[in-house]
Amino acid sequence: MDFRLTKEQGELQDGMRALLAGRFGPERLRAAVAEPAPDRALWRELGAAGLFALRLPEADGGVGLGLPEAVLLFEETGRALLPGPLVACHLLAGRLDGVATGERLVGLAQAPGGPGLWEHPDECAELVVLPDRADGPVRVFRPDGAADAPRPSSVDPLTPLARVPEGGGRALPGPAVDVRRMRREAALLTAAQQLGSAARTVGKAVAYARVREQFGAPIGAFQAVKHLCAGMLVRAETARAAVYAAAVTESEDEVCAAKLLADDAAVRNARDCLQVHGGMGFTWEAEIHLHLKRAWWRAECWGGARETEERLAAGLLTG
């Protein structure tokens, strides 16, 4: 047993971190608040870097890697707070044209049972809706028609939302989708993004606590602040163990545990990061609220706390 990352896995993750640091740093993030549409050139770069085709067979132009590697890359997209339907494009690469290369963006949503919302409706060429039952029909929509439908004013400025259409659409072409598996993987990749965000907000809180001085000392020297930061790391590292393990085992229960703990880590770490920043944390200018708001959105996707906790509880009786 060696649960830690292999050298290759570490390099893969470092590569994605470097790519995103160069192409989607804090300034680009701030600019995206006003213009949240994903940067198409960056999207194609991500396609070229293999983010979408990562798990497709090499014979089909994919990278031929597995879920653990996908989780490591998605952790980085969460750390950078990269907007866009990343999970959808990863899971639908190879099924819908132009997605694997990053040429086209597509959406993925779950029918009733989920939030009933999907992200970046104006940017996606197609929307795939998974049924709530594993044997139900998978439907595909061209979202043009839905453009006129009323839209919620999304809490996350980087994630425009629209309601998932009820009924209609056409059947997804190609071989049958393993719906349970796709939902499970969507939950896990979303959890990986939450993990990245949770780790990022620990880093931001610690960096600020080291330099911000009050009462003649860095605030990080005060236990009241120090202990908040320690608690954040504990949340992130516990979630990390759960997320990585679920990527290895692909067990339904472990994915539930990973989603629950990563949601919790992302939301609560963003809150604590905000608290450590004091008044600055409450401003629009600081990026912390963007982590919190995205974490709220992701927490609603692919299994919220109520659904996940009930599933885990049911598992206690059978397991």
Residue among 62 and 315 whose Cβ is closer to other proteins? 315
Shortest separation between residue 18's beta carbon and other proteins, angstroms: 21
- In the complex, what is the shortest distance from the CB of residue 206 to other proteins, in angstroms, rounded to a whole number? 5
Residue with smaller CB distance to other proteins, 29 or 312: 312
Binding region for other proteins (CB under 8 A): 1-6, 9, 68, 202, 206, 209-210, 217-218, 220-223, 226-227, 229-231, 233-234, 237-242, 244-245, 247-249, 253-254, 256-258, 260-261, 305-306, 308-317, 319
Residue closer to other proteins, measured from CB, 179 or 202: 202
Closest CA to 102 of 145, 160, 61: 61
Minimum CB separation of residue 80 from other proteins in Å reads: 21
State in angstroms the smallest separation of the CB of 178 from other proteins: 23
C-beta of 112: minimal distance to other proteins in Å? 19
Q: What's the CA gap between 318 and 252, in Å, rounded?
A: 13
- Cβ-contact 245, 191 below 8 angstroms: no
| In the complex, least distance from residue 290 CB atom to other proteins, rounded to whole angstroms | 23
Instruction: Give the number of other Cβ atoms within 10 Å of residue 263's Cβ.
Output: 28
Our CB check for other proteins shows the closer of 42 and 312 to be 312
Structure tokens at 92: 């639908």
H helix or E strand, kind and range, residue 113:
none
Query: Which token pair is 159?
Result: 């994630």
- In 4-159, the DSSP E strands lie at 106-110, 117-119, 126-130, 139-141
Query: Is-contact 175 230, C-beta < 8 A?
Result: no
d(CA 247, CA 66): 9
Q: Of the two residues 155 and 207, which places its CB atom closer to other proteins in the complex?
A: 207
Whichever of 33 and 305 has its CB closer to other proteins, that residue is 305
Is residue 63 within 8 A of residue 50, CB to CB? The reply is: yes
Which helix (H) or strand (E) element contains residue 217? strand 217-218
